[in-house]
Amino acid sequence: MTKIAVYPGTFDPITNGHLDLMKRGLKIFDQIIVAVAENPQKQTLFSLQQRIDMVNEVTKDMKTIQVMTLDKLVVDFSRDHSATVILRGLRAISDFEYEVQLASINRSMEPSIESVFMSPAEEYSFLSSSIVKDIARHNGDTSKYVHPSVSASLREKYLK
């Protein structure tokens, strides 16, 4: 039986921390569906299609990663794609309370789908899309934190 995990997020933009979690997740799961969300509560820098394109570019050599649009509840999306796990990253204790709340509500809606939390590699424990955007906004070097194509997209956005 194929073990499928859904890794949901806005990925605005995808960072090396996200990528690290995917690579390590593939040691546990046969397939990971990266579910890129259009979140009306967040004002994203990149459009949904741009974010999907960036994730596709960064993961193009990872054959067991599939990138899709998340346009419904994560548990419904997971069930629709035969996923039994929702994969989430925990960077700091501040993420924990929110993530446990999400896991609890997801479990109450769909008990057959588990939430699995992974901490990032140490070099990415501080990294977030917001921090990367702030560095780029101030013309800083993002090359240590994102794929070169993402870094180029950030430069292009902030040069306008």
Rounded-to-integer distance, Cα 71 and Cα 127, Å: 26
Pick the catalytic residue from 24, 79, 91, 157. Answer: 91
Based on the residue annotation, tell me whether 42 is a catalytic residue of this protein: yes
Pick the catalytic residue from 3, 42, 72, 144. Answer: 42
Token pair, residue 59, equals: 């993961």
Based on the residue annotation, tell me whether 81 is a catalytic residue of this protein: no
Rounded-to-integer distance, Cα 7 and Cα 4, Å: 10
Pick the catalytic residue from 78, 115, 129, 151. Answer: 129
Greatest C-alpha distance within the chain: 49
Based on the residue annotation, tell me whether 91 is a catalytic residue of this protein: yes
What letters, b where the CB count within 10 A reaches 16 and e where it falls short, cover 42-71?
Answer: eebbbebebbbbbbeebbeeeeebbbeebe
List the catalytic residues.
Answer: 18, 42, 91, 129
